[in-house]
Amino acid sequence: MAPAADRQGYWGPTTSTLDWCEENYAVTWYMAEFWNTVSNLIMIIPPIFGAIQSVRDGLEKRYIAAYLALTVVGMGSWCFHMTLKYEMQLLDELPMIYSSCIFVYCMFECFKTKNSVNYHLLFTLVLFSLIVTTVYLKVKEPVFHQVMYGMLVFTLVLRSIYIVTWVYPWLRGLGYTSLGVFLLGFLLWNVDNIFCDSLRNFRKKVPPIVGVTTQFHAWWHILTGLGSYLHILFSIYTRTLYLRYRPKVKFLFGIWPMILIEPLRKH
């Protein structure tokens, strides 16, 4: 974590329980952590287009919610890293729990009849979210949040492995790419935390353009944002295959993956 002594800027003293390794207000007076802030764009813009495409394809509302939840996480993280205020930290961390619960619901309902609702699972996930929120607001311990979030991610990993092992083995590429990208982001998140002092000293000795590449918390945003987006694609691909549609992964501008759904022609 970052040292307590850092530059002051537009948003005043830090009130969040976490302050990351990026030097505060080093780039602009208006953003506490510039690179950690703008790196959230990958979680804000692409999922909006994904939600729009889901509406056009007539997908179930839970997939639209999954995309929009990822956008909310990105917006919350933007506000948190821009201000380093406790209220904005909650706007980042709590939606991480809520969005993951939506992802879990989507993954465990992918082999059900169309437009069905699993009220038991829905109640369980809502209850889990409420308990985590209540406890976290009281204890204000980041490790508690990280463990609860980790439990949800682990559940998604197990479910994904089950699907690519026993149901749709040909989706291993998409499933494992999503997981691998996310885990790489998690690795860099830990590097940023553990070696913060060394990273800060290194940045003082190299040109700024080189130092930017060592902003590993920003890389965490980019990689986990991409990993989460790919997970939604994997979830939609699994669901639409089960519903006997013909999903295809297309690359927007030859770079950004999207899923297009074609209804199965009736003979």
pLDDT in tens, 192-215: 999 999 999 999 999 989 999 999
Integer Cα distance of 199 and 205 in angstroms: 10
How many structural domains does the chain have?
Answer: 1
Q: Does residue 228 carry a pLDDT above 90?
A: yes
Range of the domain at 96: 34-179+224-262
Domain assignment present for 119: yes
Q: Which residues are annotated as a binding site for Ca(2+)?
A: 19-20, 22, 24, 33
Q: Does residue 60 carry a pLDDT above 50?
A: yes
The region of weakest confidence among 25-29, 33-37, 161-165, 259-263 is 259-263
> Could you tell me the pLDDT band of residue 263, with boundaries at 50, 70 and 90?
low
Domain assignment present for 8: no
pLDDT given for residue 249 in this prediction: 85
Q: Does residue 2 carry a pLDDT above 70?
A: no
φ/ψ of 60, rounded to 5, equals -65, 150
Encode pLDDT of 8-58 as tens digits.
889 999 999 999 999 999 999 999 999 999 999 999 999 999 999 999 999
Domain assignment present for 215: no
Q: Which residues are annotated as a binding site for Zn(2+)?
A: 81, 217, 221
Domain assignment present for 198: no
pLDDT given for residue 260 in this prediction: 85
Domain assignment present for 15: no
Domain assignment present for 138: yes
- In this structure, the number of other CB atoms found within 10 A of the CB of residue 60 comes to 19
Encode pLDDT of 116-133 as tens digits.
999 999 999 999 999 999
> Could you tell me the pLDDT band of residue 1, with boundaries at 50, 70 and 90?
very low
Q: Which residues are annotated as a binding site?
A: 19-20, 22, 24, 33, 81, 217, 221
φ/ψ of 52, rounded to 5, equals -60, -45
Integer Cα distance of 12 and 102 in angstroms: 35
Encode pLDDT of 102-120 as tens digits.
999 999 999 999 999 999 9
The residues, any chain, with a CB within 8 Å of residue 20's CB and separated by 6 or more, are 1, 2, 33, 36, 81, 192, 217
